[in-house]
Structure 1
Amino acid sequence: MLNFFGIHVLGRDTALSSGSVIEVFARVGVTEEAVRSTLTRMAGRGLLERHRRGRKAYFALTPRAVTVLQNGHDRIWRTGAVNRDWDGQWTLVGYSLPEAWRRERHDLRSRLTWGGFGILQNGLWVAPGVVDVAALLGDLGLDAHLRVFRGTVLAPTEAGQVVESAFDTVAIAAQYRTFLDRWSPPGALGGDPLSGQLLLHTDWLELVRRDPRLPAEHLPADWPAIRAEQLFHTLARRCAAAARAEAERILDTIPAPFPSATP
């Protein structure tokens, strides 16, 4: 759902009616009940704002959601899936949270994974390159429980060992091969550009969210992320215009600002 709003709302200052969102997601087999429940949960977690016009409910992105989606957009279109310019630096985050803080622990781990970190050992996560940890984790309110470092490996430790220990490269490569298997055949986008675009972007964003962008020099020469990224860009551009036209046809929107909105 967040990915859908990223494609069709990010940067446009508009809100979408729940009814039109339901219509789009029906095309990919998601029920009306599931769509309404997801919209409500996302509003409750500060990712969407609800606005009313008569009997209709419209949903817009919050500043928090815009930040998350812009980060995802940058990961897809600017940063890329392959790290060819690693400078040898690592960012490390250590933490210790009370056992009862299950949600906080889940949120922290999810955010670290999104930021490209892997578990080096219990309570210690590592990511290649320079990561702005304050921006990544600052809003979680856990600063007092974190310890952040940056540096390089020293003998007898080797960078390749860190990659092997902290990251499951076999699983990461398998995910890219699954993407290639699904989206390489002719006609993989299907006949509906809007649903094809949504599924394609969602698959790809899930991949790059999990991919820590490991240094290319410590990965196999035939690393499948290279081919998968090329395929995604080709298909995304191929369906963009038709999907945009279909979205303009069926999406019910209201423009920002929302002077009479009801949160």
Structure 2
Amino acid sequence: MHDTQPTLQHLIHALLERDPPRAKSLCVTLLGDAIEPHGGSIWLSHLIELVTPLGINERLLRTSVFRLVAQDWLQSERHGRRSLYRLSEHGKELTRQASGRIYEGSPPQWQGDWTLVVLPRFGNGSLSKRSEVRRELIWAGFGAIAPGIFALPRNQTAPAHKVLSKLKLSAKALVLGAHEMNQGKGLLISDLIAQCWDLEGVAQQYRNFSETFGPMLTAIDNGMRPSQAYALRALTLHEWRRIVLHDPQLPRQMLPQDWPGHAARELCGVLYWRVFDLAEAHLDEVLGQDPLHYQTLQPYVHERFGGRNKSSRSQAAA
């Protein structure tokens, strides 16, 4: 009966046909997840070799890295006719900010603390500026609870200040720490969840993730090649990153008990570690001939998704 199950290669091919990754976003995923822990540098020719099996052709990749350099995500070095790429300092900072949301998720405990950003009106041309800061704050997980007032249920003052500094609005906005005082006596910010955050949209993305990658976890039991393990790791992280960076990651106390993000994160962690060693073998084969730029894997990687041991225990329990 098991012969009727889709093979891993079939599932990967079907995913690439149905939802091909965007080149720029995929580059950022690969640089942050796979290249940065090995020293952070990669030759353009090697990057082409890594993304080609994922549906990105050379011309599209070259255009994408050019734009990422122009947007200060990447920096490049010319070595004769060859180009070496790495995350810029700005790109590294954005990657560090995203890593907690990607690999760790929300803290298990929440003490009821909120971060508020208040934007008074600030002069001519303020409408476009307010739209820009709104977009940046919502990307960082904040919800708009009233015109010009944004809230997030944990201490996120540092990311808020970074957004305001980036847009040169630090002197024109209030960043406040808060605790609700209406317990049992009136409206709570948590009562506004449906108004402030599109949780149903995020929930559906998590359900789709589990429906897509759950069968792949089953398929790898029949074996996989290092190139397939690498492709699956890249595609899993690419899709996961796309979802969680639009998830405000509210505390568990504010989410329904059957929140699909919990099961999706569990699946992502198990799948990540199941393919990790073979994926690394593929990276070693493609990049390992240049030890000056492809360095030994940094140990911090082993803490991702709660660590390899936690993932193994979760799989055994399932």
| Length-normalised TM-score, structure 2 | 0.72
Deviation, structure 1 residue 118: 1.5
Which of residues 192, 213, 225 is equivalent to 1:183?
A: 213
2:243 corresponds to 1:207: yes
1:227 matched residue in structure 2: 263
Deviation, structure 1 residue 180: 0.6
Distance 1:201 1:140 in 2: 29
Amino acid in the other structure paired with 2:197:
F
2:28 corresponds to 1:7: no
Deviation, structure 1 residue 111: 3.4
State the SS of the aligned residue for 2:233.
Answer: helix
Deviation, structure 1 residue 129: 1.0
2:46 corresponds to 1:20: yes
Provide the identity percentage.
24
1:87 matched residue in structure 2: 111
1:69-93 per-residue CA deviation (whole Å, 9 max, x = no partner) reads 1222222333x2x454121122111
1:24-61 per-residue CA deviation (whole Å, 9 max, x = no partner) reads 21111112222111111111122211111221111012
Amino acid in the other structure paired with 2:146:
Q
**Relative contact order, higher structure (CA 8 A, sep 6+):** 1
2:98 corresponds to 1:72: yes
Unmatched 5+ residue regions in structure 1? Answer: 257-263
Deviation, structure 1 residue 3: 1.1
Higher helix fraction (1 or 2) = 2
Deviates more, 1:186-195 or 1:35-44: 186-195
- Aligned residue-pair number: 253
Deviation, structure 1 residue 184: 0.6
Amino acid in the other structure paired with 1:124:
I
What are the residue-to-residue correspondences of 1:252-263 with 2, within 5 Å?
A: 255=292
| Length-normalised TM-score, structure 1 | 0.85
Unmatched 5+ residue regions in structure 2? Answer: 1-26, 294-318
2:288 corresponds to 1:248: no
Which of residues 121, 130, 139 is equivalent to 2:166?
A: 139
Distance 1:105 1:34 in 2: 34
Amino acid in the other structure paired with 1:247:
L
State the SS of the aligned residue for 1:58.
Answer: strand
Higher strand fraction (1 or 2) = 1
1:134-162 per-residue CA deviation (whole Å, 9 max, x = no partner) reads 24543332213322222123342124313
Deviates more, 1:231-240 or 1:165-174: 165-174
Q: Decide whether aligned partners of structure 1 residues 105 and 32 sit closer, same or farther in structure 2, where only a CA change above 3 A counts.
A: farther
Q: Decide whether aligned partners of structure 1 residues 127 and 188 sit closer, same or farther in structure 2, where only a CA change above 3 A counts.
A: farther
Q: Decide whether aligned partners of structure 1 residues 57 and 210 sit closer, same or farther in structure 2, where only a CA change above 3 A counts.
A: same
Deviates more, 1:224-233 or 1:144-153: 144-153
Which of residues 76, 93, 96 is equivalent to 1:50?
A: 76
- Alpha carbons 2:77, 2:83 under 8 Å: kept: yes
2:300 matched residue in structure 1: none
State the SS of the aligned residue for 1:227.
Answer: helix
Q: Decide whether aligned partners of structure 1 residues 23 and 99 sit closer, same or farther in structure 2, where only a CA change above 3 A counts.
A: farther
Amino acid in the other structure paired with 1:126:
A
Which of residues 170, 178, 182 is equivalent to 1:151?
A: 178
1:167-204 per-residue CA deviation (whole Å, 9 max, x = no partner) reads 12211211111111111112279761222111100111
1:171 matched residue in structure 2: 201
RMSD of the TM alignment (CA)?
2.5
Distance 1:242 1:150 in 2: 45
Deviation, structure 1 residue 14: 4.1
